[in-house]
Structure 1
Amino acid sequence: MNRGFAAAFGLVSALLAPVMAQRHAQQSQPAGPWMDKSLSPDRRAELVVAQMTLEEKIQLVHGTGMEDFGPSPSPDLIRSNGGAGFVPGIPRLGLPDLNMADSAVGVARSGRRGRYATPLPSALALAATWDARMGYAYGSLIGRELRDQGYNVSLGGGVNIAREPRNGRNFEYQGEDPILAGKMVAQYIRGIQDQNILGDIKHYALNDQETGRYFANVKADRRTMRETDLLAFEIGIKEGRPGMVMCSYNLINGDYGCENDYTLNQVLKKAWGFPGFVISDWFATHSAEKAARAGLDMEQPGDRYFGTALKEAIQNRDVPTSRLDDMVRRILRSEFATGIVDNPPARKVPDVIGGMEVAQTIAERSMVLLKNAGGVLPLDPGGLKRIAVIGSHADVGVLSGGGSAQVDPPGGNAVPPPPVQQKSGETDLEAIFGTVVWQPSSPLKAIRAKAGRAVVEYEGGSEIAAAAAAAKRADVAIVFVNQPSTEGRDLTLTLPDNQDALVSAVAAANARTIVILETGGPAAMPWIGEVSAAVEAWFPGIRGGEAIANLLFGDMNPSGKLPVTFAKNEADLPHPKLFEPPVKRGPLEGIRETVPPFDVDYQEGLKVGYKWFDAENREPLFPFGHGLSYTNFAYSGLKVTPQAIAFTVRNTGKRAGIETAQVYTSLPAAANEPPKRLVGWEKVELQPGESKTVTIAADPLYFSIFNVEKDSWEVIPGTYTIRVGTSSRDLPLSGMVALSK
């Protein structure tokens, strides 16, 4: 799309959207029986389908373009809200426009229209809270701000497990364990949909790396799929009940994710009984007939396949009319079930200030204290005369994730980027995805506010000698390091820009060196033995600076736990070298043209994350579930039955704290599983000296394996070892229980 036209189009859209929305609402009040709220969503959808023409049905199963990128927009797009996708409604039937916005970590890129949203901590940070309440609060805030901005469809809900720790989009997802990831994303979805927003879960499925994502052919056996990647979706869908599932770009065992009969029809719709609809990722549709028969219900962002081509396939009986009716019925069922027909959004200014409070709470609950040698943290301002703060633009802001999930900072990018320089053949979107955005929340400012009379000196870190000199003058040195992450690109575990050398130099100059990491996933830390303390702050959102300062000075007690394993180096990973296509491709090459696929072989099978390290007897840098506190916890009194696991947690320290008590099980040898798996956890808030008894139900699914021959889950009879503790590698309690089928 011509950029000048796009800008003018966006301005006209912004001016006319409220008028058009009001006019559309006035036209959308038919007295049809499907408007009876006492009827079930299924019945209401059936009644509407019976009244629809072929043209109206086709209209609902594809998008009409998007601003700045994609096919030429249709005239209907004038009613759109400037989001990622748009499907015009049908006023005579009371069906609203579908206005879609990316919303993995907040309402994306809305700042371009002057209506800012709350930039939340990353979804991986949310997973580090291990707290369902935080997941629901996160989703609820996004849902409210979507409504306030006039959207009714959310494009978030990422739950691709961190099988590949270098995935550039891991910050949008919920970690490496399918049970933790599935349960956290379920709460995110529930929070969004309780605001009368149609929510999704994505990217279904096995979209675990960004390199070559449009034409990567993921090879995995069915047991591996069902017990790892698909299990996260199964839990998220059954507990979160999203209105739609977004299928992925990649191929799965030879068929594209959006035309894969096994994943879409056999598993999602048949085995799981999913009643909603399947929407393609943007430009992930590759056919009309095959995709429709395989279970795809809506093409986005345009109508290349599900417009005229699908209509002709219906008329030629290449696709049954009953299948088109099923596609439309599923879409309408989700519209009625989520309330977007009966409770349309009403625009108002989002409460971003209130949103910032939520963002800070989640950030504080997510930060992981990785190391704290000698109790250097929390800092006592009364005992400090000079503090050195070094690196990572800590004087002005905190890092955020990029790509389609990027949330525009209220107040603008704290580190203004140079003008976007498009390379030859590069699209607007590729250039935008490469922009690094810093949320304007200054850790330096927040540290100074808490440092009392101590002098707080800042060094940018680009000059290592100057940084070391500043550290030598100080009582304590706080080094900020980062690794930008974005859609379309994968990473290494090594921090960029010579930051490892910076940390080592500072640590050599000051024994009391504290490192704050701002990353979208795991990072190697060759200097970890040289520093006194390390904190994983993730991408902490719009109040990240304040949250970091509160942790450093003890105004909050860290309680985050790692939702991913941190490896010492890439040689310890299942695939030390990323799978890559034989011919180097651009980040968006293959999105709209056919490119020969290359294989991504999940030979490690069930051994994902901590399960790989356990099975291969490899020592991680920091294990899954790890996270220290400013207090201490003791475990005792384990009691195990086939129905539940009970134990006592006691706060043996001098500060109030929150522990995440974790339960793992080792299956009988006949199950042929990795050494252990997470089966439950609970957040326990304790005052000094206080004890609580924790009881965790034994969900049969979490103790089962998937039997491919029977196409069902089953419990292998035998003795199961139960282990309880504070991380996957620190499990002081153990017991056994016999389970039968």
Structure 2
Amino acid sequence: MNTALSPDARADLIQKEMTRDEMLVLVDGYLGVAYQKGFHDPIPAWMKPLLPGSAGFVPGIPRLGIPALTESDASLGVANGGNMRPGDTAVALPSSLLTAATFNPSVAFEGGAMIGREARAKGFNVMLAGGVNLAREPRNGRTFEYVGEDPWLAGLIAGASIKGIQSQSIISTAKHFAFNDQETARTVMSVAMEEGDARESDLLAFEIALEKGDPGAIMCSYNRYKNVYACENPYLLTDVLRSDWGYQGFVLSDWGAVHSTEKAVNAGLDQESSNGSDAIDFFGTPLRDAVAKGTVPEARLRQMVHRILRTMFAKGLFDRPVVKGPIDVYGDLAVAQKNAEEGIVLLKNEKAALPLDPGKKRQKIAVIGGFADKGVLSGGGSSQVHGIGHTKDMHVSLGGGTKVIGGTTWTLPRDTGVLHATAPLAEIKKMAPKARVSFTDGDDIAQAVAAAKKADVAIVFATQYMTEGVDVIDLALPGNQNALIEAVAAANPNTIVVLETGGPVTMPWLDRVAGVVEAWYPGNGGAAAIARILFGEVNPSGRLPVTFPLAESQLPHPIITGQRPDRKIVGTSGTPTAYDVIYQEGSRVGYRWFEDQKLTPQFPFGYGLSYTSFAFENLKLVGASTIKAEFDVKNTGIRAGKTVAQVYVKPPFGPVRLVGFEKVELSPGESKHVTLYADRRLIAMFNADANQWNVAEGDYVVRLGGSATDKAAVGTVHVNAGTVRP
């Protein structure tokens, strides 16, 4: 307990006192509840009273004062409602994709710190947070949990969130390592991608997140990479993570991702998260026997335990143990609302239809659809937070039926989504007390059209539900929502669409509506944030962290590899066998793919409008070992606002890439001088044979603007050849 010693020295001291049996305790996790549907129950009777009622639990060693690891799903808040701890609520942050849309790491840090504080108050010391997987497949059911399609943005935002969580003496993970970029067949698929492409995309996002956030643990994923399961993949867990990146924390498995004992241990897995979700308890008796026989060296077991103990010391679990208590509901709700206000994106604003006038007398506002009278939608799965104000009435039925795509009939599940309080309808009424505000649920299109005809403005709320475990089949709004928007827009030219979606959606009605607001899954403060943006109390400043395609045909995979029309997963009948998911786009993810293929998207990466205007001027470039870009950003409009200055580079070889951005807040007429330096890895290509980044000598084209396609200023700069070791 001498805090003057290093975490390694403290771990060594306590480990000297441990028996082999005690060390084996720390590497074998359990479900944090005595029973959960879909899992078997291997939990011994003596342990059940100790369980925290959560995702995971690793018993401590009371004899030596080693605390238990009490683990909760996280990222969007402390996720422990439902069948785990009924009635337990927490403040729900917006989706991680919305946080990425802020382009503001300080907002991500504040949200992470809020999660860390609530975790402490609820008795948890490990947050299974830090989703870093790229939005390579925008129909991925977990797109909303991740932080966009660009490795620099994803790494910075995820790293800041992790750092925020751990500022509260809580361990945060980074996950899912690696290439878990789709849910379809996630447990059987094998990702086929060349190492250079992997290093320049998915792995680079993780590398940056680790550098910025220093997560105490890494969670390995379900899928295979080059036919080897991620949780027993020595290339990922040892060659990249340990040898190249020098990672010092521990690796834990995803729930159900372990398939062996010796192979997983010797590849670099340090802890089986939950033997209740794996086929057998691989790190229980089999590991005990393997160590006794020498097929797992005793030194490797000691290394596993050292990594766990070192992390517990380094992140403060010994020195600042968690203490249960009340959460700061109002303070934390303010954090969630600020997050939402910075990440909501204004996509269209024809003839300055927005903002609405909150003081206009006798204004008639028709609010239509999207459960706007009840709450705002959230994404489903293990990240599901039962937010403040949650009741059974917040569970709503979504989807169902069939859909014909390319002449094939696809089966759609009838999902049950969870809404977060409060209701946009109530917040709109609060913002415009002199207006006459009506609501129709949108199920009856004729009724919605009648309401729209009587109104000065029609606000249509549209939803797209995403959840862990299944991908959406396309990017269309489900059900009758496209038809509803078309009909309402025909009845009222002043129609505003507010989208609550897990990711990009197609908009066949785009040219017929006056405004579009992408609100994502905006969390507990989302309704107020939407209303404040609609009425101009907040100037929107979110920017798209993913490209919005015009149609699925523009994507590298028009239909997700492994997806079947009956929504069952290819390869899961009988004994699951690996099959390749070939990401032929390689490192050309998102906007890189669109530029490479000369495709025009519906909305480009980085795009977003404001109620004011900005100019990007006076670009000056300096090239040597990397690129230095200086420029001025000026507010040329009549309102204060924020913009995101973005710098993109097209090297002599390889795709265009975002190399820097800065969110700038300016008053009307105000200017700010910005200087950005490109991380050398962002302008390099990875040479797998030499295991290094190579910066090619030559002329690099630099673009400054407000999106991946905006060329407000363009210049060329010469860069010298060089190398960067990983």
Please tell me the TM-score bracket, short chain as reference.
over 0.9
CA positional deviation for 1:382: 4.1
Three-state SS of the structure 2 residue aligned to 1:84 is strand
Three-state SS of the structure 2 residue aligned to 1:437 is strand
Q: Which of 69, 72, 78 matches 2:42?
A: 72
Would you say the 8 A contact 1:116–1:352 is kept in 2? no
For residue 24 of structure 2, what is the aligned residue in structure 1?
58
Would you say the 8 A contact 1:115–1:149 is kept in 2? no
Q: Which has the higher helix share?
A: 1
For residue 371 of structure 2, what is the aligned residue in structure 1?
393
Q: Which of 312, 324, 332 matches 1:355?
A: 332
CA positional deviation for 1:730: 1.1
Distance 1:168 1:211 in 2: 9
Q: Which of 458, 468, 492 matches 2:439?
A: 458
Instruction: For residues 432-474 of structure 1, give each alpha carbon's deviation from its aligned partner in whole angstroms, at most 9, with x where no partner exists.
Output: 9953101121111111112232211111100011111111111
Instruction: For residues 128-180 of structure 1, give each alpha carbon's deviation from its aligned partner in whole angstroms, at most 9, with x where no partner exists.
Output: 00001101001000000000000000101101000000001011100000110
Instruction: For residues 322-378 of structure 1, give each alpha carbon's deviation from its aligned partner in whole angstroms, at most 9, with x where no partner exists.
Output: 111111111111101000011100110111221111111100100000000100000
CA positional deviation for 1:199: 0.8
2:530 equivalent to 1:548: yes
Would you say the 8 A contact 1:433–1:487 is kept in 2? no
For residue 161 of structure 1, what is the aligned residue in structure 2?
134
CA positional deviation for 1:583: 10
Give matches, 1:250-649, under 5 Å: 250-302=223-275, 304-383=281-360, 385-413=363-391, 415-417=393-395, 434-491=415-472, 492-580=474-562, 595-642=576-623, 643-649=627-633
Distance 2:354 2:391 in 1: 31
For residue 28 of structure 1, what is the aligned residue in structure 2?
none
Change in Cα spacing, 1:319 to 1:590, as seen in structure 2 (3 Å) is farther
CA positional deviation for 1:116: 2.1
Letter in 1 for 2:389: G
For residue 29 of structure 1, what is the aligned residue in structure 2?
none
Distance 1:605 1:109 in 2: 37
Change in Cα spacing, 1:253 to 1:585, as seen in structure 2 (3 Å) is farther
Change in Cα spacing, 1:118 to 1:589, as seen in structure 2 (3 Å) is farther
For residue 405 of structure 2, what is the aligned residue in structure 1?
none
- State the TM-score, normalizing by the size of structure 2: 0.93
Give matches, 1:655-666, under 5 Å: 655-666=639-650
Q: Which of 51, 64, 68 matches 1:97?
A: 68
Distance 1:397 1:391 in 2: 11
Change in Cα spacing, 1:539 to 1:419, as seen in structure 2 (3 Å) is closer
CA positional deviation for 1:417: 3.7
Letter in 1 for 2:436: V
Q: Which of 693, 697, 700 matches 1:720?
A: 700
CA positional deviation for 1:590: 6.3
Distance 1:587 1:400 in 2: 24
Letter in 2 for 1:386: K
CA positional deviation for 1:598: 2.3
Q: Which of 165, 177, 181 matches 1:192?
A: 165
Would you say the 8 A contact 2:189–2:223 is kept in 1? yes
Q: Which of 673, 678, 693 matches 2:673?
A: 693
Would you say the 8 A contact 1:661–1:684 is kept in 2? yes
Give matches, 1:196-235, under 5 Å: 196-235=169-208
For residue 10 of structure 2, what is the aligned residue in structure 1?
44
Letter in 2 for 1:95: I
Would you say the 8 A contact 1:212–1:585 is kept in 2? no
Three-state SS of the structure 1 residue aligned to 2:30 is coil
Would you say the 8 A contact 1:403–1:433 is kept in 2? no
For residue 57 of structure 2, what is the aligned residue in structure 1?
86
Distance 1:547 1:588 in 2: 41
Three-state SS of the structure 2 residue aligned to 1:283 is coil
Change in Cα spacing, 1:736 to 1:455, as seen in structure 2 (3 Å) is same
Instruction: For residues 536-578 of structure 1, give each alpha carbon's deviation from its aligned partner in whole angstroms, at most 9, with x where no partner exists.
Output: 0000011211111100000000000000000011111000011
2:220 equivalent to 1:247: yes
Instruction: For residues 698-739 of structure 1, give each alpha carbon's deviation from its aligned partner in whole angstroms, at most 9, with x where no partner exists.
Output: 221222211111101121111111110111111211112111
Would you say the 8 A contact 1:64–1:76 is kept in 2? no
Letter in 2 for 1:599: D
Distance 2:312 2:177 in 1: 21
Letter in 2 for 1:230: L
Letter in 1 for 2:313: F
CA positional deviation for 1:274: 0.3
For residue 401 of structure 2, what is the aligned residue in structure 1?
none
For residue 15 of structure 1, what is the aligned residue in structure 2?
none
Letter in 1 for 2:443: S
Three-state SS of the structure 1 residue aligned to 2:500 is strand
For residue 408 of structure 2, what is the aligned residue in structure 1?
none
Letter in 2 for 1:258: C
> Cα RMSD (Å) of the superposition?
1.9
Would you say the 8 A contact 2:174–2:218 is kept in 1? yes
Three-state SS of the structure 1 residue aligned to 2:10 is helix
Alignment: residue pair count: 691
Instruction: For residues 505-538 of structure 1, give each alpha carbon's deviation from its aligned partner in whole angstroms, at most 9, with x where no partner exists.
Output: 0000011110000001000111101101000000
Letter in 2 for 1:308: T
Would you say the 8 A contact 2:563–2:569 is kept in 1? no
CA positional deviation for 1:594: 5.2
For residue 27 of structure 1, what is the aligned residue in structure 2?
none
Letter in 1 for 2:512: E
Distance 1:587 1:66 in 2: 28
2:79 equivalent to 1:108: yes
Three-state SS of the structure 1 residue aligned to 2:32 is coil
Distance 1:81 1:594 in 2: 35
Three-state SS of the structure 2 residue aligned to 1:274 is coil
Q: Which moved more, 1:696-705 or 1:632-641?
A: 696-705
Would you say the 8 A contact 1:415–1:437 is kept in 2? no
Letter in 2 for 1:667: P
CA positional deviation for 1:635: 1.2
Q: Which has the higher strand share?
A: 2
For residue 32 of structure 1, what is the aligned residue in structure 2?
none
Unpaired runs of 5+ residues, structure 2, are: 399-412
Q: Which moved more, 1:467-476 or 1:64-73?
A: 64-73
Letter in 2 for 1:525: M
Distance 1:164 1:413 in 2: 33
Would you say the 8 A contact 1:717–1:739 is kept in 2? yes
Identity %: 50
Distance 1:293 1:634 in 2: 55
CA positional deviation for 1:80: 2.1
